[in-house]
Amino acid sequence: AQSVAQPEDQVNVAEGNPLTVKCTYSVSGNPYLFWYVQYPNRGLQFLLKYITGDNLVKGSYGFEAEFNKSQTSFHLKKPSALVSDSALYFCAVRRANFGNEKLTFGTGTRLTIIP
């Protein structure tokens, strides 16, 4: 079985400050990890992924995430938050096996950037 925990339903950050959205996962074997963002009345947009290699991955809109195998975490980060970053963020995991395509998502974290 695979699962994702996003421990914070809501994160508030002042504009210009660094932001972190937390994610921990559970999966048998090696994980593939993803972050998606959802704006109101729109579908999920892919932000970044960890497949293999460097533990720090960079994605769209200045976001990055750090894979930590020992802590089974994949926290999303950005050095300087923008008001336009306000949205719902989802972490997702799947097993790194060919043929295992199912993504398991967390319950989401609502990020609000305060001007």
Partner 1 sequence: DTGVSQDPRHKITKRGQNVTFRCDPISEHNRLYWYRQTLGQGPEFLTYFQNEAQLEKSRLLSDRFSAERPKGSFSTLEIQRTEQGDSAMYLCASSSTSGSSYEQYFGPGTRLTVT
Binding-site ranges for partner 1 (CB under 8 A)? 4, 32, 34, 36, 41-46, 49, 51, 90, 92, 99, 101-108
- The smaller minimum CB distance to partner 1, of residues 70 and 102, is found at 102
Smallest separation (angstroms) from partner 1 to the CB of 73? 17
Residue 84: DSSP 8-state: G
- The smaller minimum CB distance to partner 1, of residues 18 and 39, is found at 39
- The smaller minimum CB distance to partner 1, of residues 82 and 103, is found at 103
Cβ count near 35 (within 10 Å): 27
Task: Report the distance separating Cα 82 and Cα 79, nearest Å.
Answer: 10
Residue 80: DSSP 8-state: S
The token pair at 3 is: 């699962």
